[in-house]
């Protein structure tokens, strides 16, 4: 007996073998329609997938806009070219840490203490501590959720390398080093200035 014969026997009206399903053909049609809808949904839902937002740095990279580090490099190079005797400046910053964000967090702590005793007179005490930390999120008018920031720290740099024309003169080189000390908060031994 084949597959179709078995199914038609199950869903056929009652016969000499006993009662069968009364609504057999209707159930078979509903089953076929359900499978068809599932397949239809799977084929046509690919275009409607939710777009994943790229990280902030990646978004700037894709749009062709310079990253904040590149903007700082360009800004510093532009400022250094304003110093008398300095031209064609290239600058490379070595980051130590990126900017630090301190976020607002809602913290819950709970403690549960249980004492147990056994028949021989022994006892033990169980202390269970639970800490739960949840960051506070703000929703902007577009519906994006952003964490609430208490404090934003500036990035720190390990050192800087400057290559420029005109820094062969010790006075000009000293002015470039002094400017970078003021702008970046670096000590002089972390600033290297080389002639082009």
Q: Give the range of the structural domain holding residue 108, as residue numbers without chain letter.
A: 102-149
Q: Is the same domain home to 107 and 122?
A: yes
Q: What is the pLDDT of residues 152-174, one digit of tens each?
A: 777 788 899 999 988 898 999 99
Q: Does residue 56 lie in a domain region?
A: no
12 falls within a domain: yes
71-81: buried (b, 16+ CB within 10 Å) or exposed (e) per residue? ebbeebbeebe
Higher-pLDDT residue of 30 and 44 is 30
* Residues 163 and 135 occupy one common structural domain: no
Q: Supply the pTM of this predicted model.
A: 0.46
Residue with more model confidence, 158 or 102: 158
Q: Number of folded domains in the chain?
A: 3
Residue 180 above 50 pLDDT? Answer: yes
| Mean pLDDT along residues 99-128 | 84
* Averaged pLDDT for residues 91-109: 82
Residues sharing a CB contact under 8 Å with residue 27, sequence separation 6 or more, in sequence order: 11, 21
Instruction: State phi, psi for 188 to the nearest 5 degrees.
Output: -60, -30
């Amino acid at each position: 007996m084949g597959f179709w014969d078995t199914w038609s026997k199950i869903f056929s009206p009652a016969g000499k073998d006993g009662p069968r399903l009364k609504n057999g053909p209707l159930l078979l049609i509903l089953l076929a329609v359900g499978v068809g809808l599932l397949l239809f949904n799977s084929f046509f839902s690919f275009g409607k997938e939710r777009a994943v937002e790229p990280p902030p740095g990646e978004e700037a990279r894709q749009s062709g806009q310079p990253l904040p580090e590149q903007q700082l490099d360009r800004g510093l190079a532009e400022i250094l070219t304003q110093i008398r005797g300095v031209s064609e400046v290239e600058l490379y910053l070595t980051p130590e840490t990126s900017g630090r964000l301190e976020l607002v967090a809602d913290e819950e702590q709970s403690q549960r203490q249980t004492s147990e005793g056994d028949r021989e007179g022994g006892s033990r005490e169980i202390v269970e501590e639970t800490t739960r930390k949840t960051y506070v999120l703000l929703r902007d008018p577009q519906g994006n959720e952003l964490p609430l920031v208490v404090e934003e720290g500036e990035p720190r740099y390990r050192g800087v390398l400057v290559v420029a024309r005109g820094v062969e003169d010790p006075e000009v080189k000293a002015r470039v080093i002094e400017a970078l000390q003021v702008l970046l908060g670096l000590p002089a031994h972390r600033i290297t200035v080389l002639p082009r």
